[in-house]
Amino acid sequence: MASLLMMLAGCNDSGSSQEVGQSLDDLKVSRVVGGEPEMGRRIIAAYECGVCHVIPGIQGAHGIVGPPLTDFGRRQFIGGVVPNEPSLLVRWVQDAPSIAPHTGMPDLGLSNDEARHVAAYLYTLR
């Protein structure tokens, strides 16, 4: 994990950051095994994540309780505590308090499959 972080940090400093960053993001989307962004978009709407978050592409998602998920695919950390990595994002959207016990984001009880679709969608935001 530490080396992935260093890679990510390094990319932002390098001249060709856009290109390298882009392919890293593509890699992340494809690493959400079985995750379909379009399915994720519908699940996000159904669970009303937009009550708390601004989420591009989701109708009515203008919440300001949590951070905007705009450009989430390029965010380095999840909740500021763990690296933005597919397996951790899947777990975060299912049960954020299992990662950050004091977080304001509730355990929303998504199934594993639902969480994978949601993560795949979030990685398209960049």
Please give the Cα distance from 40 to 100 (Å, whole number): 23
Among 8-16, 20-28, 31-39, 51-59, which window interacts with ligand HEC (CB under 6 A)? 51-59
Burial tier of 67 (Cβ tally within 10 Å: 0-12, 13-18, 19+)? middle
Please identify, among the stretches 9-17, 19-27, 30-38, 104-112, the one whose residues bind ligand HEC according to the rule CB under 6 A.
104-112
End-to-end CA gap in the chain: 22
- The reply on whether position 70 binds ligand HEC by CB under 6 A is no
Least distance between ligand HEC and beta carbon 60 (Å):
13
Report how far apart, in Å, the C-alpha atoms of 45 and of each of 50, 68, 100, 124 are: 7, 15, 24, 16
- Residues at the contact surface with ligand HEC, assessed by CB under 6 A: 44, 47, 49, 51-53, 65-67, 69, 72, 75, 78-80, 92-93, 100, 103-106, 108, 110, 118, 122
